[in-house]
Amino acid sequence: MFKLFNLTLQLNRFPIKNAQVEFNKIISLSEKEHQLFIENKKEEIVCFHLQNNTFYQELVGSTIYRNWEDLPVLTKKNLQKPLQQRLSARFLINKVFVNKTSGSSGDPFIFAKDKYAHAMTWASIIYRFGWYGIDFNSSYQARFYGIPLDFIGNAKERLKDFLSNRYRLTIFDLSDEFLEKFLQKFRNKKFDYINGYTSSIVLFAKFLQSKNIVLATICPTLKVCMVTSEMLFEDDKILLEKQFGIPIVNEYGASELDLIAFQNTNGEWQVNSETLFVEILDDDDKVLPYGKEGRIVITSLFNKAHPFIRYDIGDIGILDEKSTLKKPILKQLIGRTNDVAILPSGKKSPGLTFYYVTKSIIEDDGNVKEFIIKQTKTDTFEIDYVSELELTSLQIKKIEDAISLYLEPNLKFNFTRKSFLERSNRGKLKQFKSML
């Protein structure tokens, strides 16, 4: 069978074949062998960045690796400086994979992965989706995601969709009128699986419930639904299972890292221990035992272009007591929820829509450090932000234009520059909140 998806990765110089060979070797290791693998990779990645990355040398304050527990915890604030200052020696911006975080935690930044590290990420994703009979080269995806609305950005994403064998159901408008159009796509296309933002997929399930429709009865080719980027609550999962008539799989990931945890066929939230090393730390940066709640801190074992070593992702979680180093199980993830904005026209738009809006204010100079958006009335929003320089009238106009494009015109926005933003009692900064 012709493997278009794999070929696309190879043409973009992501060595997927080599990555899959190494990934398969890792998953075949015994528990004892895996422990040795983790220790070796931890030391290897730290020593590499201490020798080749000025940013990480300055953070650690040394070029010599002595003890894992003494390494500093890397925060998103540390990373809010131009990418060029954070790249390792011998890695050029135009020769690595560069992307932006969603800013869902309110702390956006630009990051890089070297080509091999990104290929290992795809090897991990391909392996886990394969648990449910999904093959990226042949399975047809119904994709509940946003999309850039400018001509070039839109064309690029549509091309990616074609090469990845997926059909994008754009989630900027989730009114009943558009959800009816989504439903027609499922009647007419032979989708194998659903993948996308939790809140958007839940809204679609509620729409199906109002019409007393089970999705699998009108699209019998559907096998599974993977939800991502936002918390999936148990009652929502029950609703999805009922209205879709297929298994619902919970995914937890971060664009700057990899899939972090993915629900296996036994219903366990299995942590990725092949390309990542996950720790749970207390407020004093001490490692907590399995079963204890704390900060999720993650090390990318393969990314040499940019250090993500003991990186605090901003979430709180618990590793199950039955976890092992080879097979950690995420017992609970706390946080990562997004509200839905209800606009004057009746249009509903998920909080993650603001990912596409905030791209307008995320610049590589790191000026905007943090932001939160609150909906105070159906037509009124407050944007509080922390920055080195106040946003100019031109920048504000650019943001307002983007909001009109992605949401709808005639919305009112009040911009307030602050020295700091209030956080939850767990230290979480929620990017979007509806006060309605």
Torsion from C-alpha of 312, 95, 39, 34, nearest 10 degrees = 100
A 10 A CB-CB count for 154 gives: 13
Query: pLDDT digit of tens for each residue in the chain (436 aa)?
Result: 557 888 888 888 999 999 999 999 999 999 999 999 999 999 999 999 999 999 999 999 999 999 999 999 999 889 988 999 999 998 999 899 998 886 655 567 899 999 999 999 999 999 999 999 999 999 999 999 888 878 888 888 888 888 889 999 988 877 888 899 999 999 999 999 999 988 789 889 989 998 999 999 999 999 999 998 777 878 889 999 999 999 999 999 988 999 999 999 999 999 999 999 999 999 899 999 999 999 999 999 999 999 999 999 988 899 999 999 999 999 988 754 446 788 899 887 776 676 567 655 665 566 777 778 888 999 999 988 888 889 888 888 888 888 888 888 999 989 999 887 775 443 445 667 888 7
Torsion from C-alpha of 77, 83, 89, 90, nearest 10 degrees = 150
Q: Give how far Cα 137 sits from Cα of 15, 81, 124, 248, 425, Å.
A: 16, 37, 15, 21, 44
Question: In which region does residue 393 sit, left (phi positive, over 0), alpha (psi from -120 to 50) or beta (all else)?
Answer: alpha
In 3D, which of 254, 293, 301, 296 has the Cα closest to residue 277?
301
Return the ∠ at Cα 393 (arms to 387 and 394), rounded to 5°.
Answer: 100
What tokens appear for 294 in the block? 């704390």
Domains of the chain and CATH, by start: 4-139+223-334 (3.40.50.12780), 340-434 (3.30.300)
- CB-facing half-sphere around the CA of 276: CA atoms within 13 A: 28
Dihedral (CA of 411, 403, 405, 200) sign: negative
Give the DSSP letter of residue 72.
P
pTM: 0.80
Look at residue 324 and give its three-state secondary structure: coil
Dihedral (CA of 109, 363, 373, 370) sign: positive
**What is the DSSP code string of 165-204?**
TEEE---S--SHHHHHHHHHHHHHS---EEEEEHHHHHHH
Return the ∠ at Cα 254 (arms to 66 and 310), rounded to 5°.
Answer: 15
